[in-house]
Each structure stands twice: as C-alpha cells, then as structure tokens.
Structure 1
Amino acid sequence: MPASYLPGGDLADALGAAAGWTAKTKACLLFLARVRVAPLYVLTLIVINVVLNHAVSAETRSQIVLANSTNVDNLQHHRIWTLVTSAFVLDERVGVGAMIPLLLLLSVAEVLWGWRRLLVVFFLSNAVASCLVYGLLLVGVQGNWLGGAVTMASDVGTSYGSHAVGGALALTLPVRARRLLVPLAVVVVVVPLLNGASFTDIGHLLAVLLGFVAGWQMRRRPLAGSGLRLTPRRPDRTVAYSFGDVTQARAALLTALRLHEHGQAHLDDAVAACSDRADRIHMRDTRDMSAIDGAVAGGAWGVLLGTVVSIPLSGLVVGAVGCAMVARWHDAGLSDTTVERTMRTLPTGRGALLLLADPAGEPALTSALARTGGTPVPEVAREQAAAAQPDREGT
C-alpha cells in the first residue's frame, strides 16, 4: 500500500527548515557530529593494516591473512570467526588516503540510519555474502568444476560490507537519487563479471543485492526490532486516529515515524489502514513480517547456520521456507483483529492510523496528527480499558 518511509527523515527535516546554504551546512555538520562507529572502524582498520605491513614479516602477514580468510578451507574446518575478522584485515598494502572513500560511505550511512543499522548491514551482509560464495565454491570443488587451489585462496577486506552498504544507501535515498544510483550500483558489479568473473566479483554482486534487500526492508519496516529496549517503560497503549482518506493516513504515518525518530514519541508498531467499497481492509504494517520478509530473514540466518555444518545452500533454503511459514502465521505488534475491528467502526473510504505507543508520547502524537487531519477514535480506548478491567478486578 502506501509510501515508503525514508530513513534519515530527521536530517531531511533539518535541511528543509534551514534557509540558505550556510544554515544547511551547519545542519549537516551537527548531524556529522553524531558519527561514531564509522571513524572508529576505519581507524581500527588502518592500525591493523599498518601493523601487518611494517611490524611483522611478509611470511607472518601472509599467515595472518590466510587464517582470517573466509575461504573454503577455513569455513569447512568451522573457523566461523573469520566471517567477522576478515573485515578487519586487508590483503594488499593500502594507503591511508584509500580509506577516505570508505570513511565517507560509512559515515553517510551512519548519519542516515544510525550506528546499529550500519553495523547490521555491513557485518551481516559481509558474513552472508561470504557464506554464499563459500557455498558456490564448495559445490564447484565437489563437482570438479573448480580446482582445489581455490579452497585456500585469501578472501579478506571490506569490499563485501562496503558494497552492501552502498547498495542499501542507493535504495534508501529519495526517488530521484535511486533512479540513478541503483542502476549504477548494478553496473559497477556486473561489468567485471563480463570480463571473466572471479569468486570475489560474484561476492560483490551478492553483497550489492543483499544491500538492496536491506534498504528495501528499512523503508518497508522501519519499526522492525523496536520491541528490544534496554530500559523499562510503561506498558504500551493502543491509540487510533481517523482521517478523511487513505492519503491523509499515509501522511500521518510518516509524521508519527518522524516523531519516533526524533525521540518525541516511542512506537512499537504503527499500522496505516483503509477500507474500500467492497468492504475489504488494506493495511500497511511497519513492524510485522510478511512471508516475503520472513523468507529474507530466514534465508540470511539459514545460510549462516548452514555454514557451521558445511551446508550453507541447504541452510538458505530451509531457513527461508521455515521462517516464511512462521512469519505467515505469526502476528507481532498490533493484531490484525484490532485493526479490522477499528476499521469496522469507521465509514467506508476513511483512513486510519493505529499506533502501539508509550503513553508518555501520546500528547505529542495527538497534537502532531491533529495538524494532518487526524481525530482520535474513542472506541479503541474504551476497548482497551474494558480488556484491562478483569485484570484489575483479579488483583
């Protein structure tokens, strides 16, 4: 259904409110001051590279590179740690200046997504791409299509993770930028394949595709995983707002997500819904997984777990199918029943926005959504109070 949510909306708001290039530059610098993980990772990479190039012998350096490579030999012998450590070791002597593009790429991603999403996209995509390449090489060696020497090849560096971050960035930027950057990202990894592909080139293609999937998921399910919190809060409360049509409900959803991103409200789920003339209800959930979402997540974790027992491609299939089935029947956050019951109380054609929110942020939500044409739906509050009444009586 509706428009996708753009990660980095708070930066877009700040730039939109800034008048003139000086104010826009100041806004960008304020957001760049939030960057922490990207420079720390690049600095760590530089230090390790300098030590390997100048503090140890060439033979020792080669041994360290091979010991941390995500090649067939290491993964077959269950050296799973290489899926992480390979991203901290470089196979070539790289100057400090060559790290600047990587720093800029990761810094932009951290500003738009936050450090948690950056770490997930970079390291998870690096690991999954490595496992997929391992699976393909394993099949090639067992089928005698590839020579045995490939099992000991060095495969380290930042390329898989950086290609994934680039692909995810291309898909999370505004539409005009996506129209240029997405095809460009595909061309960059496809052209080397036309000139005689190596397994690293195939890994780059897989990493970019994984980045596309990550960017697509960030736009579709911005509240995924928001139920994980470090500090206790008051129990969430379900609130609903009615709108004249679905367009207003979609705009209100973006407004609510912006308040969540700015910290003015905390949402654990948000659902925009509308009903058509045939009395069918259409929903857009920002947290719950569809079967496709489950297949994507299950496939990623399946290939990682399958690598532990040397069956990565089988793990991919089993994980994708299993999680797709679970996601198809599992209903997280706001239940479909609650959404449908709320929509039945509204006239046909009206839109609604249902939120599972921290009560402390409800005044800010009501005030902001009123400016987009939203009016609270009292039936939801009455139902929630009635559902809580037996609990109070029992105590």
Structure 2
Amino acid sequence: MYKDLPGLAPASYLPGGDLADEVRAAPGWTAKTKTWLLFLSRVRIAPLYVLIVVVINVVLNHAVSAETRSDFVLANSTNVNNLEHHRIWTLVTSAFVLDERAGVGAVLPLLALLSVAEVLWGWRRLLLVFFLSNAVASCLVYGLLLIGVRGNWLGGAVTMANDVGTSYGSHAVGGALALTLPVRARRLLVPLAVIAVVVPLLNGASFTDIGHLLAVLLGFVAGWQMRRRPLAWCRLRPASRCPDRTVAYSFDDVTQARAALLTALRLHGHRQARLDDAVAACSDRAARIHVRETRDMAAIDGALAGGAGGVLLGTFIGIPLIGLFIGAVVVAAVARRHDAGLKDTTVERTMCALPAGRGALLLLADPAGEPALTRELARTGGTPVPEAAREQDAARPDRDATSPS
C-alpha cells in the first residue's frame, strides 16, 4: 500500500454535486426551479416508505383494538426481551411501526428529510444509511441495556419496553446529510445535530435518547465515508461481465490530479461516465508513491464496517458489544490485505512509467465514457498515458511504496 496523497483532503468530494452543478449553471430562478423539480421527480423510495408507515399507523389506530395494537407494537420492538429471543426481524420492522399517533406535522418533516437524502445520495445509499443505522443503533442500545439489567443497575421492566419508530433512522440520515453538505452549511448543521441529541440527555436521559445520540454519530460516520470513499457505495461490476479497462492520465502536479479526480467523480455523478474505481497518485522527491483511493478500504474503513457487522451478529448470540470489537478488529485486518477495484500493482506500474514528481489519475471506467473523460480532464492538464507505456516493465530501484501513516 501507499501513503495518502498530499493536498487531497478526504472530504473533497460531496455527494449530490451533480445537482449543485446544474442548479448553479441554470440561468434564472425559473430554470433553477425546473432543475430542482427534475431531480425531485427521481424520488421513489422516500414517499413509498413514508406511505407504508402512515398506512400501518392508520390501521393500528383505527382498524384494530387497543389490545391488538399494543401486542403488535410490543412484538416489533427492539427491546431486550425480543432480541434475547433472537427476534432479529424487529431490527427492520420496528422502523415501520409508530408507538404514538403520527400527525401531518410529524410525517411531512420525515418525508422532506428522506426525499432530500434520496435526491443527493440515490435510493441505495438512503436505504443503507437509514436501515443499517437503525439496526446498529438498536443493537448498541440493546447491549447497553443488557449490561445494565445484568448488573442490577436497571429494573427488569426495561426489557419489555416499547422501542419502535423512525427516529433512529431519521436521526442517522440527518447526521449524514449534515456532514455531506458544503462546508458553510456543515459548520451550522453539524453542531445543531449534536445539540439536538445532547440536550435531552442533560434533562434525564432515557435509553431512547441514548439511541438518538448513537444514531446521529452513526450518521456522521456514514456521511464521512460517502465523501472519503465515494465509489465504495457503488456496485463493483465483475471484470468478466463488463468491458471495463484501466485508463490513466498524467498531470504536472498533485493539484491538477486533485482537480481531475473531482472532475471524474462529477462526470460519474452526471452519468456521463461509468466509474468502478478512481485513484489519484503522485510521487515525491524520494520517488515514493502517494495515493488517494475512492473504493478500496483502509484499515479504519474496515474497522467501521466490521464493527457494524459484528454488533449485528453479536446481537444474534447475545454479545453485541463483544461482536462489535471482534468484527472491527477482524475486518480491519482483512481490509489492509484486500485489494478491491484498481490493483496496487497497476498504480505502481503506471507511476513507474512516469517521470518522478508527476501526478496521475487512474480510472476503471466503461470505454463508452472515455471520450468525455479525456475531453474534460484535458481542461485540468491531463494527458492520456498510453497503455503500452504502462505495460512496460518500468520498475526502478529508486521507487519505493510505503505503508499508510
């Protein structure tokens, strides 16, 4: 592996940049409004989910008895009793059930929040952030309650408490949105998101308040990962089933390589090019290679993913917090050794074919988008590197790949 690319911050890419670009380019408020409406017409999952929640809530409040409603809510709660008895489905179904009557004032903000997230991220990211965060936050709360009950710090009644609703998922989506918006909005929204979940803790915390705090923190992690590894959220097509090939562009310095990477990601967002991976690289005066990857996981990414998976598996066998630790350690170790997308050897071979000190951008891209990539990257100083040059054995004794710091 390599050192991080200097001068290219992990937060340089913002999901939803294609919308920002088109709104900015639209002349006049009428054109900007049409652009917003065009993007909003793509929203599908958010209104469907909210509609399902409303229908279930209406049926429970008006079509069944109070006893049936109470039994249904209890059966779908992510409480200690249900999770101890391996009712894992409650980690999903709890997000569709409301403990209280939901009026228009509660449903419309949820619809607006999820719709904005779907516009900026796409429906796959929305589903992953909402439901995975809801499940992980529920498992963490379960683990804390389990410790409290077994240590006699909490009463046994908490094991049968109702814990349903959309709040964990919506808090996570709100936290992720706050961290994926531009810096000016982020400076205001991130502190507000923290204050909104910390203040209730100061006034006598309940386990639900703790869950809200955990959900917001999970949302922050998700938003940070969207900006740090933007292509990791996209499905990687098998090489045997798609005509992808590696294309490389050479640049005078790292600043140009940084601009080129953002340009390539914008083209991917605008669907003018299909990228499976993108790696910006440069070499320093000591001929060491530095990279910024957009798909391959580093150890910290593996720890976060492994921790989420570990707490879910740990919940199934009654040790969620131990599962969190084991999953984080194991997947972090695997991530350090696993090489997804563009291979490290391909990056090193390309850099060895270039003069020391130059930057490069390597893309695993659909050939149909290569003309658009070449045209746009030329504006940032990019020169295509011939495949023949990259295939040559350019290994030099003065080139040294070092481990990440």
> Which TM bucket (shorter chain)?
over 0.9
- Higher relative contact order by CA 8 Å / sep ≥ 6: 1 or 2? 2
| 2:101 equivalent among 89, 93, 104 | 93
Residue 305 of structure 2 corresponds to residue 266 of structure 1: no
Shift of 1:16: 1.4
SS at match of 1:274: strand
| 1:184 equivalent among 173, 188, 192 | 192
Normalised by the size of structure 2, how large is the TM-score? 0.92
Alignment match, 2:112: 104
The alignment's C-alpha RMSD in Å is 1.6
Shift of 1:94: 1.4
CA contact (8 A) 1:68 1:89 kept: yes
Q: Please, which runs of 5 or more residues in structure 1 have no aligned partner? A: 387-395
Alignment match, 1:126: 134
Shift of 1:341: 2.2
Q: Deviations over 1:49-105 (max 9, x none)?
A: 111111111111111100000000000000000000000000011113320000000
| 1:70 equivalent among 70, 78, 92 | 78
Shift of 1:231: 12
**Aligned CA distance change for structure 1 residues 96 and 171 (closer, same or farther; 3 Å):** same
CA contact (8 A) 1:11 1:112 kept: yes
Deviates most, 78-87 or 219-228: 219-228
CA contact (8 A) 1:132 1:312 kept: yes
CA contact (8 A) 1:37 1:115 kept: yes
Give the letter aligned to residue 13 of structure 2.
Y
Shift of 1:262: 1.8
Deviates most, 225-234 or 108-117: 225-234
Residue 333 of structure 2 corresponds to residue 342 of structure 1: no
Shift of 1:225: 4.5
Alignment match, 2:25: 17
CA contact (8 A) 1:238 1:384 kept: no
Shift of 1:230: 9.9
SS at match of 2:374: helix
Residue 214 of structure 2 corresponds to residue 215 of structure 1: no
Residue 169 of structure 2 corresponds to residue 141 of structure 1: no
Paired with 2:243 and 2:283, the residues of 1 have a C-alpha distance of 29
SS at match of 1:318: helix
Give the letter aligned to residue 363 of structure 1.
P
CA contact (8 A) 2:141 2:211 kept: yes
| 2:87 equivalent among 71, 79, 83 | 79
Question: Which structure 2 residues correspond to residues 291-306 of structure 1 after superposition, within 5 A?
Answer: 291-306=299-314
Q: Which runs of 4+ in 1 moved over 6 A?
A: none
Shift of 1:245: 1.1
Alignment match, 1:33: 41
Paired with 1:187 and 1:152, the residues of 2 have a C-alpha distance of 29
Paired with 1:120 and 1:303, the residues of 2 have a C-alpha distance of 16
Shift of 1:348: 2.8
Residue 326 of structure 2 corresponds to residue 318 of structure 1: yes
Deviates most, 14-23 or 132-141: 14-23
Percent identical residues? 83
Alignment match, 2:53: 45
Normalised by the size of structure 1, how large is the TM-score? 0.94
Q: Deviations over 1:320-344 (max 9, x none)?
A: 0000000011111112222122222
Paired with 2:254 and 2:314, the residues of 1 have a C-alpha distance of 43
CA contact (8 A) 1:45 1:89 kept: yes
Q: Please, which runs of 5 or more residues in structure 2 have no aligned partner? A: 394-405
Shift of 1:384: 5.2
Give the letter aligned to residue 52 of structure 2.
T
